[in-house]
């Protein structure tokens, strides 16, 4: 942000480098304001606008994320209960709900757990 402010100030200074301004006053003397005076005012404004305000509280630090706690596992349904049969039928295509066995990929019969 400071880099952008400096570039902006330099651009303004380049644009008004040879210009002289007359600032109207109520007195008989009019004060000549040079481009350098304008640049000083712009730079001062940028510095004030981009500086940290000591009256404002510092930004709060973000809390570190806490690691996810593993959820307690649900107890397995009891063998031959409707939930158990449904789970095993969903998990194994060869499941036989009458016996509780399924065929594994080697063709062996295994009891569904």
Higher pLDDT, 72 or 91: 91
Higher pLDDT, 94 or 49: 94
Confidence bin at 15 (pLDDT 50/70/90): low
Distance of alpha carbon 19 from alpha carbon 72, whole angstroms = 76
The answer to whether 54 touches 32, Cβ cutoff 8 Å, is: no
Distance of alpha carbon 6 from alpha carbon 13, whole angstroms = 10
Q: Please tell me the pTM assigned to this model.
A: 0.36
Q: What is the pLDDT of residues 68-85, one digit of tens each?
A: 777 777 888 899 999 999
Distance of alpha carbon 50 from alpha carbon 38, whole angstroms = 18
* The pLDDT of residue 5: 65
Confidence bin at 91 (pLDDT 50/70/90): very high
- pLDDT greater than 60 at residue 17: no
Average pLDDT for 2-12: 69
**Three-class DSSP category at 113:** coil
């Amino acid at each position: 942000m400071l880099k952008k402010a400096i570039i902006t100030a330099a651009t303004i200074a380049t644009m008004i480098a040879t210009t002289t301004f007359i600032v109207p006053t109520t007195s008989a003397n009019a004060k000549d304001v040079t481009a350098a005076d304008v640049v000083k005012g712009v730079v001062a404004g940028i510095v004030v606008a981009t500086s940290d305000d000591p009256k404002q509280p510092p930004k709060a630090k973000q809390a570190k994320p806490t690691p996810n706690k593993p959820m307690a596992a649900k107890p397995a349904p009891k063998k031959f209960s409707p939930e158990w049969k449904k789970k095993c039928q969903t998990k194994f295509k060869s499941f036989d709900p009458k016996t509780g066995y399924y065929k594994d990929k080697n063709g062996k019969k295994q009891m569904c757990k």
